[in-house]
Chain A
Amino acid sequence: SAVISQKPSRDICQRGTSLTIQCQVDSQVTMMFWYRQQPGQSLTLIATANQGSEATYESGFVIDKFPISRPNLTFSTLTVSNMSPEDSSIYLCSVPKEGMNTEAFFGQGTRLTVV
């Protein structure tokens, strides 16, 4: 199984500022995913972080708001830019289990509160 570490685990930020969330995996993986989980809600896929190319964003999410970096096969960052209280959520990174279509490993999440 893959071990995924996210930093920070939680933060309280002022509106208008930006926060960068880091995701470190203990093995090389081709694909990494970023999800958002709004309070009391399910998970929504933000984007796929591709190594060596731009991230692929899902409908409703744009690069200017959620820039993503993927400098190598074990690391990715998600930035939440120009934050507003509506951005208060848990942000999770995920990697698929090798060779599996359905099983994925998740980080413990970053709980973001925007005040």
Chain B
Amino acid sequence: GESVGLHLPTLSVQEGDNSIINCAYSNSASDYFIWYKQESGKGPQFIIDIRSNMDKRQGQRVTVLLNKTVKHLSLQIAATQPGDSAVYFCAETFSGGYNKLIFGAGTRLAVHP
């Protein structure tokens, strides 16, 4: 929807550059940290997750880094493409949470040609 991302921080990058999107979390009991992508007019889509006992996980063109010391999560997108333009949300879940996702703040990624 067009209202998604209106009041969120925006990261503007040039096509082909690498993007880094950051997220701070507060719940040390979370077992998994996840990144979701939400395009205009659509529901969020899963990108990648990382278990709390890991520091880094790589996917296709994406890498998630977890720093538990400072409670910080980041998503790195390599060679950013126009199709990557969207709002990105971090989320948490925990064992026994029955798949409940707790979403954090979002960041709007704008990719310019």
Q: Mark A86-115, 1 if CB is under 8 A from B, else 0.
A: 000010101011001111111111010000
Determine whether A45 belongs to the interface, using a CB cutoff of 8 Å to chain B.
yes
The one of B4, B95, B101 in contact with A104, judged by C-beta atoms closer than 8 angstroms, is B101
Interface SS majority for chain B: loop
Asked if B25 CB lies within 8 Å of chain A CBs, one says no
Supposing A37-B4, A96-B99, A103-B49 touch, asked if A42 and B43 sit within 8 A by C-beta, the answer is no
Q: Which residues of B contact A48 (CB under 8 A)?
A: 98, 100
Let me know if A102 and B32 touch, CB within 8 A: yes
Q: Is the CB of A102 within 8 A of B93?
A: yes
**Distance between Cα atoms of A44 and B101 in the complex (Å):** 9
Q: Indicate if A43 sits at the interface (CB-CB under 8 A).
A: yes
- Residues of chain B having any CB pair with chain A under 8 Å: 1, 3-8, 31-32, 34, 41-46, 49, 89, 91, 93, 95, 98-106
